[in-house]
Amino acid sequence: MDKTEAFLDVSIWREQNGDGHFETYQVPRRANQTILDVVAWVQQQADPTLSYRFACRVGMCGSCAMMVNGAPRWTCRTHVLKVAEGASLEIAPLRNLPVIKDLVVDMDPFFDKWVAADAVFAPSQTRDDPMAPITPDDTMRIAADDAIECINCAVCYAACDVVAANPDYLGPAALNRSWSLVNDSRDAGQAERLQAVSAVGGCHNCHSQQGCAKFCPNELNPTLSISGLKRATAKSLLRWGR
Amino acid sequence: MLTLRLYFAQRLTALIMAPLTLGHLAVMIYAVQGGLSVAEILARTQGSVAWFLFYGGFVVAVAVHAAIGLRVVVSEWLGVRGIALSVFSLVVLATLLLLGGRAVWAVTFAGGGL
């Protein structure tokens, strides 16, 4: 971006009741400005009816993801300088999810798939049992470490072309969470989980294109987790003998 | 669309096809380098259980592998789902088995040349 430009030309997707279009706003440039700063300026100074979602503003909560110049980004930690093309920005709601209004998408399909992927901890012990000892150098613990820092922002889900082509596909985030639980030695629901990720929209639909890994703001690699699930389910198929 | 069993069948057939493809290439180079005529090639393949199993196995692996692969393409690009998708996959499987099987049979056990 040309640093001498005093204003940014910002196109923002406006949508209500299924009827959507881009609207353009002139937003003053600021030092160290983030995409979320730009959206907040428009809502506070230009059009208070603009709807968008955010919470922590420090890259922890996973609320503020949007499409910025066609790519999914966590907007609170994305600097305008790094993604603007010239002085122009195009900000749209996350891909692959239904729009509620403007930049706010319905996250239900995303989280429903976490449940469908059985990405929920199944305890094997009660609160009366002693703490399960898991050492940091445990192989399973190390495999879980690679997958565990997900903030549920749905950037990977928006980046995934398989999700776009196949609405049944569980998506990178849900499968990544399942993989972290497959590596949890305290979990008692492994057989059910492997069956859940082997169903029609399961891990085997992944083309290993790695759009998820390219855009994950926490630099996780869900494709790697999904390939782990493919290996684990293939081994279990040999065990089940079906 | 792709379940564990379909995924497994596609990977398994890929494993089978890899050495068979290399074998097929070697045979082609041998036949061309040696200047074998059609009659000489048929003389080697007619009545041969080994060649029948080699190319028969190849045809089965290709038919299964391609039917599953095209199933994914048709589903993702054309939005075909459900029974229509299964029918499409089975038609591709049957067509490839028929075409390939007919060719293998012709050069091994059909007799009387082509």
B8-23: pLDDT as tens digits = 999 999 999 999 999 9
pLDDT of B31? 87
Q: Do B2 and A204 touch (CB under 8 A)?
A: yes
Tokens 């040696």 map to which residue? B34
The mean per-residue pLDDT over the stretch A121-142 comes to 93
Q: Do A230 and B7 touch (CB under 8 A)?
A: yes
Tell me which chain B residues have a C-beta less than 8 angstroms from the C-beta of A165. Answer: 75-77
For residue B81, give the chain A residue with the closest CA: A166
B35 CB within 8 Å of a chain A CB: no
What are the structural domains, with CATH classification, of chain B?
4-108 (1.20.1300)
pLDDT of B113? 47
- Which token pair is A126? 């009660």
The percentage of chain B sitting over the pLDDT mark of 70, rounded to a whole number, equals 96
Q: How far apart (Å, rounded) are the C-alpha atoms in residues B45 and B48?
A: 5
Q: Which 3 state secondary structure label does DSSP give B44?
A: helix
C-alpha distances out from residue B21 to A134, B54, B57, Å = 47, 10, 11
pLDDT at A189 over 80: yes
Rg of chain B, C-alpha, whole Å: 17
pLDDT at A29 over 80: yes
Tokens 């069993």 map to which residue? B5
Most B CBs within 10 Å: which of A166, A204, A233, as the mutation test of the B interface?
A204
pLDDT of B111? 67
Range from A89-93, A104-108, A145-149, A187-191 carrying the lowest mean pLDDT: A145-149
A241 pLDDT tier (thresholds 50, 70, 90): low
The mean per-residue pLDDT over the stretch A167-185 comes to 96
Q: How far apart (Å, rounded) are the C-alpha atoms in residues A47 and A24?
A: 11
pLDDT of A146? 83
pLDDT of A123? 94
Cβ–Cβ < 8 Å for B97, B60:
yes
The percentage of chain A sitting over the pLDDT mark of 70, rounded to a whole number, equals 97
Q: Do A200 and B4 touch (CB under 8 A)?
A: no
Q: How far apart (Å, rounded) are the C-alpha atoms in residues A42 and A64?
A: 15
Q: How far apart (Å, rounded) are the C-alpha atoms in residues A160 and A209?
A: 8
pLDDT at A172 over 80: yes
Does CATH place domain A108-240 in 1.10.1060.10? yes
Mean pLDDT of chain A: 94
pLDDT tens-digit map of B20-58: 999 999 999 988 887 888 899 899 999 999 999 999 999
For residue A206, give the chain B residue with the closest CA: B2
Q: Which of residues 60-89 of B touch A (CB under 8 A)?
A: 72, 75-77
The mean per-residue pLDDT over the stretch A161-172 comes to 96
pLDDT of A5? 67
CATH number of the A7-105 domain: 3.10.20.30
Long-range interactions of B97-104: CB distance < 8 A, separation 24+ = B97/B59, B97/B60, B97/B63, B100/B55, B100/B58, B100/B59, B100/B62, B100/B63, B101/B56, B101/B59, B103/B55, B103/B59, B104/B52, B104/B55, B104/B56, B104/B59
Q: Which residues of B33-53 are buried (b: 16+ CB within 10 A; e: fewer)?
A: eeeeeeeeebeebbeeeebbe
pLDDT at A86 over 90: no
pLDDT at A2 over 60: no
The interface predicted TM-score (ipTM) is 0.84
pLDDT at A74 over 70: yes
pLDDT of A85? 83
Most A CBs within 10 Å: which of B1, B3, B4, as the mutation test of the A interface?
B4
Q: Do A165 and B76 touch (CB under 8 A)?
A: yes
Dihedral over alpha carbons A178, B71, A165, A211 (to 10 degrees):
60
pLDDT at A221 over 60: yes
- Which token pair is A143? 């495999």
Q: Do A202 and B6 touch (CB under 8 A)?
A: no
SS3 per-residue string spanning A163-177? HHHCCCCCCHHHHHH
Domain ranges of chain A: 7-105, 108-240
B114 pLDDT tier (thresholds 50, 70, 90): very low
